[in-house]
Amino acid sequence: MSTEGRFAVPLRPTATIPVGTAGILPTDAAALIRNRLRPILGSLAPHSRVRLTRLTEAGLIRPLVAQADVQLAGDRRVRAQVAAATMSELVGLLATRTIGQLHTYPEALAECLRERVITLPPPSPPELLPPAVRRVARRKVCRPMAMTAAEAIVALEAMDYRFHLFREKYSRQDSIVIRSGAGRYRIIQARPNPIGLEITSPPIVLASAERRSVAIARSRLDLTGGPVEIFTDKATGLLTALYARYDGHYGLLGAEVAIKSARRSW
């Protein structure tokens, strides 16, 4: 089977890219997105969906957010997410980032774009509202998927994440991988265990998630304006991430209780 056959799902000639919208947007917003993205996806392009939102929080400089989710064959997915001040800027940024993300599987791109060299920066952190009005707008507990560190890095990059929560396959440690520079990564665990990380390309730095309360983690982000604070929650003992959302508030993501997940997964 050819590489093209492995990575791309043919689109019907009449297929259109579904665009979901939320908030007050120009009437032609969905059409603008479709017209810009359609030529990027080749004749063997994957099925795609786009979500377009205008955020309502006052004071945001970049209230427009777009996310393109591209489904490839073999359960592979690629995602691109951008924020912008204007619709024209948003469409251009989303097109550029989608091309860059799909270079992981170039056969999914239109042929004229496969040789185009694009060096993408890491995902831009969302802008935060002033500390006095920020709140934890979403709390989520999930069961991390078991995977190797290398697989977690692939997911981090392909899905345009700023961090990725997973369960390291060999040590069975809940872990979060983040970027620490160009081509460099850091894996954070509540109880660092190097099993499964000894031979890894690219190199990975293993770090410990300090124990602190959610309130302290929030005060640190209020002070620094950083995109994410990763810590071990003193109340639960679980690996947790407090992160900036595109609406200017915070989200809180934690792993399920380890013993429950272990019984279900292994």
* φ and ψ at residue 38, rounded to 5 degrees: -55, -45
pLDDT of 15 above 90 = no
Provide the terminal-to-terminal Cα distance of the chain, rounded to the nearest Å.
Answer: 33
The predicted pLDDT at position 22 comes to 96
What pTM was computed for the model? 0.85
Of the candidate ranges 111-125, 153-167, 232-246, the one whose mean pLDDT is the lowest? 111-125
Percent of the chain surpassing pLDDT 90: 62
Element (H, E) at 216: helix 214-224
**pLDDT tens digits along 25-79:** 999 999 999 989 888 875 544 578 999 999 999 989 999 999 999 988 777 889 9
pLDDT, residue 47, reads: 77
Give the list of residues 6+ apart from residue 9 with CB closer than 8 angstroms, or none.
44, 45, 46, 47, 71, 72, 73
Helices 87-102 and 29-37: crossing angle in degrees, nearest 10, is 30
pLDDT in tens, 173-203: 999 999 987 778 999 999 999 988 866 667 7
For residue 203, what pLDDT is reported?
76
Considering only residues 8 and 89, tell me which one the structure prediction assigns the higher pLDDT. Answer: 89
Q: Which amino acid belongs to residue 237?
A: G
Phi-psi region of 130 (alpha: psi -120 to 50; beta: other; left: phi over 0): beta
Q: What is the pLDDT of residue 263?
A: 34
Give 163's pLDDT tier (boundaries 50, 70, 90): very high
Q: Is residue 154 over pLDDT 50?
A: yes
Residue 13 has pLDDT above 70, yes or no: no
Task: Please give the pLDDT value at position 199.
Answer: 62
Report percent pLDDT > 70 for the chain: 85
List C-alpha distances in Å: 191 to 97, 120, 226, 254, 264.
35, 33, 24, 15, 21
Q: Which is more confidently placed, 202 or 253?
A: 253
What's the gap between Cα 43 and its chain centre?
26
Distance CA 93, CA 122 (A): 13
Look at residue 1 and tell me whether its pLDDT is greater than 50.
no
Query: Which domains can be identified in the chain, with CATH numbers?
Result: 3-113 (3.30.160.100), 131-265 (no CATH)
Check pLDDT > 60 for residue 261. no
The pLDDT score that the predictor gives to residue 3 is 38
**Cβ–Cβ under 8 Å, residues 74 and 6:** yes
Question: What's the token pair of residue 36?
Answer: 């810009």
pLDDT band at residue 109 under the 50/70/90 scheme: confident
pLDDT of residue 135: 95
Comparing 198 with 214, the larger pLDDT belongs to 214
